[in-house]
Structure 1
C-alpha cells in the first residue's frame, strides 16, 4: 500500500515518528511513503524519507483577512474541530495540496499525526486514515470525532502508559506500537564518553577532575547527573538547577539543550549534542521532561529517571509522568529531593532497584537500543507492506487486533 503521513508542525517529534516508521519498511518500499507537513526544511532532517517524498504544506496560521477567527466561539465553530478559520487562503491551499497529492500519488491510507481538522477532511473526502493518539487525556469532542472517523488508532507508546481516563472504546480501537528508539550513533565506551566530556569543557579544574575518573569502575567515585531539555520549553527545568546543585553539591551536572545564562553557574557542562545516548547510558541520574521521543529513548535503560513534566494541553506530559512514577520507572522531583537529602550515599531508591529484574529494562548499560525485529511497530509496518488493498488489510489484519468491530452490512 502507498502510505501518506501527516506530521504536525509543532516541534519535530511528529516528523521524527514518521521517519522511525519509514525506517521499518523494506528499503525498496520506502518510496511508497509520503510525508505531508508544514514544518520547514530546517525543522527536521529526515533519514529514511527522501526529499521528493515530502510535501511541504502551506501554513495554517491565522491571517488578518480571515472572515472568522480559528476559534470563533460557541455558535460560530463546528464542535468537531479545534481550529477552523473561515476565508483563510493558506488553509484553503493546504487542503487542496493534501487532497491533490493524495490523488496524484494514489495514496491508499493516511496516517494522521495529529490534527482533528485533517482527519475530518480525509473522512469527508472518503480517504481511509489511521489516527495517532498522543499521551494524555484527549476526551474532548474534536479528538473523539477524529478517533471515531479512523479505521484504527495508533499509540506510539506502551499500553501500560495509557491514561486512566481513556474511554474503553478508544482503548479497544488502539494499536499500541510501544516506544520506537531514536536513531543513535555507534555506542561509546565509558572511556570515550569521558574523553567527549573533556572536549565539552574549558575549565582546567573540571578537566583534571575528569582525567582522574576511575575508568575501570566507570567513575564509581563520581556521581554523573544529566539534565536533558528540548526546545519546546526549558525554563521550568532550569529553575530546578539551583536546588539540584544544593542537594548534590559534588555531582558532575551536565545540561544538554538550551539553558538560561543565569543558570549556567549551577552546572559543570552545558552543551548541545547530536546523540544523547552515552549520557543516558553512563549517568547515575537523568532529569528530564516527559516528551514522547525523550521518554522513548530512556524507557528501556536502567538509569534512574527524575521527571519534570511540562505543562501541555490535555495533560500530555503529566499523564506520562504519573504512569512512569506509578510503575516505579521514575521519581517525581519531590521524591528525588527526599531521597537525595536522606541518603548519605545518594544511591538510587530501593523501589527503583526492581528495574533490574524487569524484562523491559535493559540490564546492559552499554547497550541502549534494542535489536528486536518483531516489535508491534515492525509488525504494523510489515502488514502495510504486505497488503495491496486497504479493504483486505483492514478486514484480515487490522480488525482482528481490536476488541471492537464496525457494522459490516
Structure 2
C-alpha cells in the first residue's frame, strides 16, 4: 500500500444503500490503498476501519436559502440532471473535491451516484468509476457519465442486468451482488420467532418498507390482512396511512427495527418495495415474495422489478392490489418461486471482490506513470 494513490468515493446521502455499500467496499479497499469518502453527512455510515477519511461537503441536491432566484427556471441541458445555476452549495462542494484532486492525485474517483460528478472527474483528468443502477438511464446525461467512466460498478448480479444495457457498458462492468447488504446465512424460522416472541404455528406475512421515499401505503395492506384473518401481517419500516382505512386486528405496524434479519427469517411470506438493500436481503433469505416498485427517478424500482419478474425471483405487482382477489393472485405466483434460485443470486464476498477490482483497475491505469507529488494549488 505504501505510495499507492488514494481512491475518492462520493456517496449520495439519501436512503441507506449508498452509504452501506460504500462502507463495505472501503473497509476492504483500505487494506490496499488510502480511501476518502465524500458525503453531505458523516453519520449515515456503518462502522468504518481506521484510516478511512470522511470529507463532509455541502449537499448537491438541497437548497440552502442562498440561491439566486432569477436563475431558478433556467432550462437544464440534456447532458446533466441536477445542475442548477446560482447554488453556492454546489460551487463549494465542487471546489472542495477539485482541491482534493490536486492535492492527493487520486488513482480513481467513484461516484455513487452523481452523473455530474462523473463528468467533473473526467474534466479534471481523474479516472472515475460510476456505480450503475437499474432504471431508464439511456439519456445523454447518464450515457455520457457511463461512457467517460473507466469502469462501472453494479451492486447486483450480472443475471439481473437489464436487457437494454449496451454490451460495451456490460464489458466494463463489475457485478457485486449484495455488496453492502448483510447477506450472511439467516437464522432459522424457529429461532427467529423465539427471539421475536411470535407464535411458531401462526402464518406470518412481513411487509418490508424502505427508507428512500414517503413510506409504504397501508390501505392496500388492510385488504390483504383482512382477507386472511388467521394470518399475522407485520410491517417494519416507514408506512403511511389514509383516513378511509379500517385496519384489521391482525395488521401490526412495528416501525423501524434493529433486527430486520430476524423478521425476514421469521416470515412465511414477504411483501416489499424494490430498493436495492431490501431486494438483496430477501433474495438471500429465500422467501415467497411479492415485490411492488415505488416511484423513483428514472423508474429505477420499476426496472428492477421487471428484472426480478423476468428471472422468476419475485411475484411483481405493477401497483398495489386494490382488492382481496388481487392479493391472492399475487400470492399464487409467489408460492411458485424457488428459494434456492433466489439465494443463488447473491455473491459470496462481493465487497472484497469489488475492492480488488478497483485496486486492479487503478494499477492497470497508472502503470508506468511517474510518482504523484501534489499539484500546485493556486489560491
TM score, norm. by length of structure 2: 0.81
**Displacement of 1:59:** 2.2
**Displacement of 1:138:** 0.3
Q: Deviations over 1:62-85 (max 9, x none)?
A: 455437646621xxx443211222
Query: Per chain length, whose mean CA-contact separation is higher, i.e. which structure has more relative contact order (CA < 8 Å, sep 6+)?
Result: 2
**Displacement of 1:355:** 3.7
For 1:125-144, what aligned pairs fall within 5 Å after superposition?
A: 125-144=124-143
Instruction: Tell me if 1:303 matches 2:287.
Output: yes
Mapped contact 2:135–2:303 kept (Cα < 8 A): yes
Which of 239, 243, 246 is 1:259 aligned to? 239
Name 1:226's counterpart in structure 2.
Answer: 206
Cα distance between partner residues in 1 of 2:90 and 2:366: 33
Q: Deviations over 1:93-146 (max 9, x none)?
A: 111111112333342111111111111111111011011111111011110110
SS of residue matched to 2:280: helix
SS of residue matched to 1:299: helix
For 1:4-403, what aligned pairs fall within 5 Å after superposition?
A: 4-25=8-29, 28-29=31-32, 32-38=34-40, 40-42=41-43, 44-49=44-49, 53-60=53-60, 61-62=62-63, 63=65, 65-66=67-68, 69=71, 72-73=74-75, 77-180=76-179, 182-183=181-182, 188=187, 190-198=189-197, 210=198, 213=199, 219=200, 221-260=201-240, 265-266=247-248, 267-333=251-317, 341=328, 351-352=336-337, 354-356=338-340, 358=341, 361=343, 372-373=348-349, 375=350, 377-385=351-359, 389-392=363-366
SS of residue matched to 1:286: strand
Cα distance between partner residues in 2 of 1:320 and 1:340: 21
Cα distance between partner residues in 1 of 2:361 and 2:131: 21
Indicate how the Cα distance of structure 1 residues 341 and 88 shifts in structure 2: closer, same or farther if over 3 A, else same. Answer: closer
Cα distance between partner residues in 2 of 1:369 and 1:278: 19
SS of residue matched to 2:285: coil
Mapped contact 1:184–1:275 kept (Cα < 8 A): no
**Displacement of 1:9:** 2.3
Name 1:216's counterpart in structure 2.
Answer: none
SS of residue matched to 1:240: helix
Cα distance between partner residues in 2 of 1:69 and 1:20: 40
The RMSD of aligned alpha carbons is 3.3
* Further displaced range: 252-261 or 90-99: 252-261
Name 2:376's counterpart in structure 1.
Answer: none
Name 1:407's counterpart in structure 2.
Answer: none
Cα distance between partner residues in 1 of 2:177 and 2:90: 33
Indicate how the Cα distance of structure 1 residues 254 and 393 shifts in structure 2: closer, same or farther if over 3 A, else same. Answer: farther
SS of residue matched to 1:255: strand
Indicate how the Cα distance of structure 1 residues 45 and 87 shifts in structure 2: closer, same or farther if over 3 A, else same. Answer: same
SS of residue matched to 2:159: helix
Indicate how the Cα distance of structure 1 residues 69 and 83 shifts in structure 2: closer, same or farther if over 3 A, else same. Answer: farther
Cα distance between partner residues in 2 of 1:145 and 1:68: 29
**Displacement of 1:350:** 5.4
Cα distance between partner residues in 2 of 1:171 and 1:387: 16
Paired residue total:
356
Indicate how the Cα distance of structure 1 residues 180 and 2 shifts in structure 2: closer, same or farther if over 3 A, else same. Answer: same
Unaligned runs of 5+ in 2: 369-379
Cα distance between partner residues in 2 of 1:347 and 1:231: 28
**Displacement of 1:192:** 4.6
TM score, norm. by length of structure 1: 0.76
SS of residue matched to 1:127: coil
Indicate how the Cα distance of structure 1 residues 123 and 70 shifts in structure 2: closer, same or farther if over 3 A, else same. Answer: farther
Mapped contact 2:233–2:252 kept (Cα < 8 A): yes
Mapped contact 1:80–1:116 kept (Cα < 8 A): no
Higher helix share: 1
SS of residue matched to 1:380: helix
